[in-house]
Structure formats: structure tokens, C-alpha cells
């Protein structure tokens, strides 16, 4: 798991279980905010056999992430 901090949000790499395996995702949450994060699946259409492989792919995408906008959407 990798973490990247922005001015108002933090983003964390994640793996989301799907029907055919795992999807790479980035979870976004306001800095210091409570509650559940908002998950954004990345690498649309790709699935991975293990959660570890999906998280590794999400880590690479997190490196490319430029920012998170006010609506908690990813900015590439």
C-alpha cells in the first residue's frame, strides 16, 4: 500500500475484489476526516489474480496522480 498526500486529501493504493479477481483502485479521503474513503477503480478493464498484484498496479497509478479536486475526483 502506498499513500500520497495533497492539500486537502490523501490518496491510498488499494485492491477491490471483483467477480473475476481484483481491481486496482485508489481510495481518497479528506485529510483528518472521519468516515469511509471513496474508492476509484483505475486501469479500467484489467483484473488481477491476487490483491497484492492489484495493489502493486495501483501504487504505480498513484505515482502518476497529479491531484484530487474539490469533489474528491482524481486529477491525472
Write down the domain spans for the chain: 3-75
Q: Within the chain, what is the greatest distance between any pair of CA atoms? A: 36
The predicted pLDDT at position 7 comes to 94
Q: Tell me if 61 sits within 8 A of 48, measured CB to CB.
A: no
Q: Tell me if 54 sits within 8 A of 24, measured CB to CB.
A: yes
Cβ neighbours for 9, distance < 8 A, ≥ 6 positions apart: 28, 29, 30, 31, 68, 72
Cα–chain center distance at 65: 10
The predicted pLDDT at position 33 comes to 92
The predicted pLDDT at position 10 comes to 97
The predicted pLDDT at position 42 comes to 98
Note the pLDDT tens digit of each residue in 5-63.
999 999 999 999 999 999 999 999 999 998 999 999 999 999 999 999 999 999 999 99
The predicted pLDDT at position 72 comes to 95
Amino acid at each position: 500500500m502506498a499513500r500520497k498526500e495533497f492539500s486537502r486529501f490523501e490518496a491510498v493504493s488499494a485492491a477491490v475484489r471483483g467477480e473475476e479477481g481484483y481491481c486496482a483502485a485508489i481510495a481518497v479521503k479528506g485529510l483528518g476526516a472521519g468516515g469511509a474513503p471513496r474508492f476509484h477503480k483505475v486501469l479500467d478493464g484489467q483484473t488481477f489474480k491476487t490483491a497484492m498484484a492489484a495493489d502493486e498496479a495501483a501504487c504505480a497509478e498513484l505515482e502518476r496522480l497529479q491531484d484530487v479536486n474539490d469533489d474528491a475526483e482524481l486529477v491525472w
